[in-house]
């Protein structure tokens, strides 16, 4: 079956730091490979797919089970890199069978695969998203790097599902400058919410 083996940069149990599920315990699986190339990416080491070991989906899920002590409400977050560079149907099927809720964080620049309980769509200017992600996204999370990004964020709204959650998140290196601007923007446009990378503030992975 396609997608039985995947390159994994790292996997760990921590708190989700961003978006709708912020503050919840979650098991992260960071897949290797990215062709989006955000200049401010804080995990550039994930970009080279060949730099990371290949694991079977069975081994990936077995490790997730062993390292996730919670018996219920288990969340697995698939991230990258750009995780949709890989076929993810088998991984999500196996995670569901093991009792995990499946979440993904993606730029939407590759075709959607996998069976997801929650899709965090975080588009990037460096590679345009594909149309198929818009109506399936549960949350839109736009990283705000400069003032022009507010208008760019708004450009996605018309194509999203009506119940899609909307988040603005300051780029970490610009947080001191951009967070006050985001606060004022949300006060004027309350359909948006603030997302902060709280894992960086509390110093967890």
- Give pTM, 2 decimals: 0.96
Phi, psi dihedrals of residue 143, rounded to the nearest 5°: -80, 125
What's the pLDDT at 171?
96
Give the rounded percent of residues in the chain with a pLDDT score beyond 90: 91
Q: What pLDDT, in 10s, does the model give residues 138-165?
A: 999 999 999 999 999 999 999 999 999 9
pLDDT beyond 90 at 65: yes
Mean pLDDT of 16-34: 97
Look up the CATH number of the domain holding residue 75.
3.20.20.70
What's the pLDDT at 119?
98
Q: What pLDDT, in 10s, does the model give residues 190-203?
A: 999 999 999 999 99
Q: Who has greater pLDDT, 17 or 40?
A: 17
In sequence order, what are the beta bridge partners of 6? 55
Name the one residue in this structure whose structure tokens are 């970490």.
172
What's the pLDDT at 11?
98
Q: What pLDDT, in 10s, does the model give residues 175-193?
A: 999 999 999 999 999 999 9
Which uninterrupted H or E stretch holds 119? strand 118-121
Residues with Cβ within 8 Å of 11's Cβ and at least 6 positions away in sequence, in order, are 27, 28, 29, 30, 60, 63, 64, 67
- CA separation for the pair 120, 107 (Å, rounded): 8
Q: What pLDDT, in 10s, does the model give residues 73-112?
A: 899 999 999 999 999 999 999 999 999 999 999 999 999 9
What's the pLDDT at 70?
78
Q: Which domain holds residue 185?
A: 5-201
Residues with Cβ within 8 Å of 113's Cβ and at least 6 positions away in sequence, in order, are 3, 84, 86, 87, 88, 89
The maximal CA–CA distance of the chain, rounded, in angstroms, is: 50
DSSP assignment of 47-112: S-GGGS-EEEHHHHHHHHHHH---SSSEEEEEESS-GGGS--HHHHHHHHHTTEEEEEEE-S-S--
Please, what is the average pLDDT of the chain?
A: 96
Q: Contact at 8 Å (CB) between 169 and 142?
A: yes
Residue 1's CB is within 10 A of a number of other CB atoms, namely 9
What's the pLDDT at 1?
62
Number of structural domains (the chain) is 1
Q: Contact at 8 Å (CB) between 1 and 90?
A: yes
What's the pLDDT at 109?
97
pLDDT beyond 70 at 134: yes
Q: Which two tokens stand for residue 186?
A: 């949300």
What's the pLDDT at 25?
96
């Amino acid at each position: 079956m396609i997608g039985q083996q995947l390159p994994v940069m790292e996997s760990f149990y921590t708190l989700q730091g961003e978006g709708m599920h912020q503050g919840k315990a979650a098991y992260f699986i960071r897949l290797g490979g990215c062709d989006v190339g955000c200049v401010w990416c804080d995990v550039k080491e994930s970009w080279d797919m060949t730099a990371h070991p290949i694991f079977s989906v069975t081994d990936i899920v077995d490790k997730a089970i062993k390292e996730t002590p919670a018996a219920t409400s288990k969340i697995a977050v698939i991230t990258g890199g750009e995780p949709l560079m890989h076929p993810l149907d088998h991984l999500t099927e196996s995670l569901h069978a093991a009792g995990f809720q499946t979440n993904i964080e993606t730029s939407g620049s590759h075709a959607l695969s996998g069976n997801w309980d929650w899709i965090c769509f975080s588009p990037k200017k460096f590679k345009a998203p594909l149309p198929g992600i818009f109506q399936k996204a549960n949350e839109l999370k736009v990283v705000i790097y400069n003032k022009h990004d507010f208008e760019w964020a708004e450009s996605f709204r018309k194509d999203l599902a009506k119940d899609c959650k909307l988040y603005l998140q300051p780029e970490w290196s610009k947080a001191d400058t951009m967070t006050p601007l985001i606060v004022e923007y949300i006060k004027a446009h309350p359909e948006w919410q603030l997302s902060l990378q709280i894992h960086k503030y509390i110093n967890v992975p």
